């Protein structure tokens, strides 16, 4: 992969800090006695819940919940400051004030006399501490959009101004790292910027060019007006409602649609990420693409990621395509690309918070119905603390709710690797296997759940219950069955019942090679024995021979479909899909 200057600079920022003048960020001040309640009635988030010094992501919608503006809102005692992309400003303000009649609400545009500086990266706070004159009892804002009043040090003066500039320091990350906005009022904005720039360069900061800002924005998964959404986009389609919506506040325009999406199901399309192969030349932005010959989405933003070292794109995908980890083939104008679907953001620095904190946040997201956000936080928790049993278990449950049973099974198996006598893990596995039509494994897991429950109760009562001894006892019983079937088959070698019993016993012990011959004799004698096809396919899978397993399942599906044997049919279809669908290699 060819590395550009902007990509190299992004990598330096990740270990240091970057700075930029945001001349496309508009600053509005909203005042008036009725401003708090007026904004509460018009915006999506809970404005009245804000205390002075706090802030939030917010939005204004139309009746269909289409975005009319997305912005940061910060509250002071008697005023609000709204920070918004200049391209959205005029339309958003007109929509906010649309129903103002007698309310005392005034909006003033401060953009001409404000300098908005962005400082991003792990060393951003250290740099700002050196140029700000903070009071002894001031604490840094820790929540997004929270702010404090600040002034620059006396030696930080633009054009020898007698009074050091002052303003607001707002917590706001745009890069996947921690970050801040420094909002300064000045009658000499250009000189202010030049002075700040000199100080930042002396501290070995990286000036963020427009190319860098775009790479950082996309890596952080932040949608941009005009590229990733417009005034026809539903807010829940962007994923921004997770931060910009309060579901406990009163009514606002568009609330019914937003609430209905949360209560009754997902949106038809959702903003997701695509990760391409490292050497791919991805489709251009605004490219419509097909999947399996059908319209599936449009590329909105695309970059060559410096952090992931591969092309990535943001796009809207339907329910069938937006499964994280799924490998899809995109077609644009007769050309094809393979890409892995992923949740946004592409990059997010791990914070010092513990895996337990992320686990609690993930469980809350799950309880609130934000499954994708829950998946992201739970995976982060596991990355920090792989031994978190609850995180693996919750992931398994969430995956199963979306019909991703093979992945859900893998998660429950990780639970059992950490805690072998976990009753609910065995119970869940029993349910998942039944959903796949594997009644045999479902019954086996149900039995294991019962044994684990007995073991736990025995321990609680001060008794000893040896699960391993029970396993050995069951294995011995299976060996005795094998000997019995072998003896019976000496007199009738082609007996279907005896051969199926022998093959099934070998399968119980995972002696797959020995199971094949008796199962093949069953099929030879009873070509419509659909369960025998299922068992034989599993045996070939156990031997890692996918080609043989695929052949057996294809024939078995024909037989089961013709007979109406739904349970083996369903499982063979699921297993065949798992064998034939491309696995992610990205």
Question: Do the domain assignments include residue 212?
Answer: no
Tell me how far apart the alpha carbons of residues 487 and 506 are, in angstroms, rounded to a whole number. Answer: 15
Q: Tell which of 460, 484, 513 closes a domain.
A: 460
pTM here is 0.66
Question: Do the domain assignments include residue 144?
Answer: yes
| Domain encompassing residue 72 | 17-204
> Out of 67-71, 342-346, 378-382, 486-490, which region has the weakest mean confidence (pLDDT)?
378-382
Question: Do the domain assignments include residue 257?
Answer: no
- Asked if residue 419 and residue 516 are part of one domain, the reply reads no
Question: Do the domain assignments include residue 249?
Answer: no
In the 8-state DSSP scheme, what is residue 31? E
Report whether 148 contacts 169 (CB < 8 A): yes
Q: Tell which of 460, 494, 526 closes a domain.
A: 460
Question: Do the domain assignments include residue 504?
Answer: yes
Tell me how far apart the alpha carbons of residues 390 and 396 are, in angstroms, rounded to a whole number. Answer: 10
- Is residue 566 pLDDT above 80, yes or no? no
- Asked if residue 547 and residue 436 are part of one domain, the reply reads no
Tell me how far apart the alpha carbons of residues 381 and 379 are, in angstroms, rounded to a whole number. Answer: 5
The CATH number of the domain where 150 resides is what? 3.30.1360.120
Most confident of 17-31, 245-259, 555-569: 17-31
In the 8-state DSSP scheme, what is residue 152? B
The CATH number of the domain where 388 resides is what? 1.25.40.10
**Average model confidence (pLDDT) for the chain?**
88
- Asked if residue 553 and residue 482 are part of one domain, the reply reads yes
Question: Do the domain assignments include residue 288?
Answer: no
Band of residue 162 on the pLDDT scale cut at 50, 70, 90? low
- Asked if residue 52 and residue 22 are part of one domain, the reply reads yes
- Asked if residue 490 and residue 451 are part of one domain, the reply reads no
- Asked if residue 375 and residue 486 are part of one domain, the reply reads no
- 556 burial via Cβ count (<10 Å: 0-12, 13-18, 19+): buried
Report whether 115 contacts 192 (CB < 8 A): yes
- Asked if residue 501 and residue 429 are part of one domain, the reply reads no
Chain segment 231-275, per-residue pLDDT in tens = 999 999 999 998 999 988 889 999 999 998 877 766 889 999 999
Tell me how far apart the alpha carbons of residues 116 and 225 are, in angstroms, rounded to a whole number. Answer: 19
Question: Do the domain assignments include residue 133?
Answer: yes
Tell me how far apart the alpha carbons of residues 451 and 469 are, in angstroms, rounded to a whole number. Answer: 11
- Asked if residue 492 and residue 445 are part of one domain, the reply reads no
Q: How many domains does the chain have?
A: 3
Collapsed DSSP state (helix, strand, coil) of residue 393: helix
For 235, 237, 266, 372, 482, the CA distances from 269, given in Å and listed in that order, are 11, 6, 8, 14, 54
Looking at residue 475, what is its pLDDT? 85
- Asked if residue 499 and residue 434 are part of one domain, the reply reads no
Strand (E) or helix (H) holding 102: none
- Asked if residue 115 and residue 68 are part of one domain, the reply reads yes
Looking at residue 1, what is its pLDDT? 44
Residue scoring higher pLDDT (330 or 138): 330
Looking at residue 584, what is its pLDDT? 40
Q: What is the mean pLDDT of residues 354-360?
A: 77
Chain segment 399-421, per-residue pLDDT in tens = 888 778 888 898 999 999 898 88
Tell me how far apart the alpha carbons of residues 25 and 277 are, in angstroms, rounded to a whole number. Answer: 34
- Asked if residue 491 and residue 409 are part of one domain, the reply reads no
- Asked if residue 497 and residue 453 are part of one domain, the reply reads no
Q: Tell which of 204, 223, 254 closes a domain.
A: 204
Report whether 227 contacts 214 (CB < 8 A): no
Question: Do the domain assignments include residue 503?
Answer: yes
């Amino acid at each position: 992969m060819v590395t550009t200057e902007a990509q190299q600079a992004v990598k330096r920022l990740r270990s240091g800090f970057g700075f930029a003048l945001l001349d496309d960020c508009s600053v509005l001040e909203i005042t008036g006695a009725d401003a708090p309640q007026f904004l509460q009635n018009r915006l999506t988030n809970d404005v009245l819940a804000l205390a002075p010094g706090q802030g939030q992501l917010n939005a204004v919608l139309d009746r269909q919940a289409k975005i009319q503006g997305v912005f940061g809102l910060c509250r002071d005692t008697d005023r609000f400051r709204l920070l918004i992309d200049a391209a959205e400003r005029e339309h958003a303000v007109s929509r906010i004030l649309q129903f103002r009649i007698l309310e005392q609400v005034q909006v003033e545009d401060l953009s001409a006399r404000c300098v908005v500086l962005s400082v991003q990266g792990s060393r951003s706070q250290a740099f700002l501490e050196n140029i700000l004159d903070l009071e002894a009892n001031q604490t840094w804002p820790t929540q997004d959009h929270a702010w404090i009043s600040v002034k620059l040090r006396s030696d930080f003066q633009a054009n020898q101004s007698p009074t050091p500039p002052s303003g607001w320091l707002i917590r706001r990350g745009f890069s996947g790292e921690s970050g801040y906005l420094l909002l300064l009022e000045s009658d000499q904005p250009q000189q202010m910027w030049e002075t700040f720039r000199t100080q930042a360069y002396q501290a070995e900061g990286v000036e963020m060019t427009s190319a860098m800002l775009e790479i950082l924005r996309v890596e952080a998964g932040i949608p941009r007006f005009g590229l990733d959404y417009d005034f026809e986009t539903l807010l829940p389609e962007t994923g921004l409602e997770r931060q910009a919506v309060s579901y406990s506040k009163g009514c606002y325009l568009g609330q019914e649609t937003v609430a209905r999406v949360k209560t009754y199901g997902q949106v038809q399309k959702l903003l997701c990420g695509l990760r391409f192969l490292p050497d791919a030349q991805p489709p251009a932005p605004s490219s419509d693409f097909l999947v399996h010959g059908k319209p599936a989405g449009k590329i909105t933003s695309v970059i060559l990621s410096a952090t992931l070292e591969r092309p990535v794109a943001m796009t809207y995908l339907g329910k069938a395509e937006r499964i994280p980890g799924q490998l899809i083939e995109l077609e644009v104008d007769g050309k094809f690309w393979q890409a892995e679907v992923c949740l946004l953001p592409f990059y997010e620095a791990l914070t010092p918070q513990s895996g337990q904190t992320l686990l609690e946040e993930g469980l809350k997201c799950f309880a609130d119905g934000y499954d994708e956000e829950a998946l992201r936080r739970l995976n982060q928790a596991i990355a920090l603390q792989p031994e978190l049993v609850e995180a693996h278990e919750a992931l398994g449950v969430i995956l199963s709710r979306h019909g991703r049973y093979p992945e859900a099974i893998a998660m429950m198996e990780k639970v059992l690797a950490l805690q072998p006598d976990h009753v609910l893990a065995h119970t869940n596995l029993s349910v998942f296997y039944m959903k796949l039509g594997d009644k045999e494994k479902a019954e086996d897991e149900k039995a294991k759940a019962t044994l684990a429950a007995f073991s736990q109760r025995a321990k609680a009562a001060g008794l000893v219950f040896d699960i391993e001894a029970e396993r050995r006892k069951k294995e011995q019983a299976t060996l005795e069955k094998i000997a019995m079937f072998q003896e019976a088959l000496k007199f009738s070698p082609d007996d279907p019942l005896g051969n199926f019993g022998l093959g099934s016993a070998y399968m119980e012990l995972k002696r797959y090679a020995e199971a094949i011959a008796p199962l093949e004799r069953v099929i030879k004698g009873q070509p419509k024995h659909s369960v025998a096809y299922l068992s034989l396919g599993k045996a070939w899978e156990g031997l890692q021979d996918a080609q043989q397993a695929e052949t057996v399942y294809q024939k078995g599906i024909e037989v089961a479909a013709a007979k109406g044997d739904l349970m083996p049919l369903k499982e063979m279809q699921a297993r065949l899909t798992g064998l034939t669908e491309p696995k992610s290699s990205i």
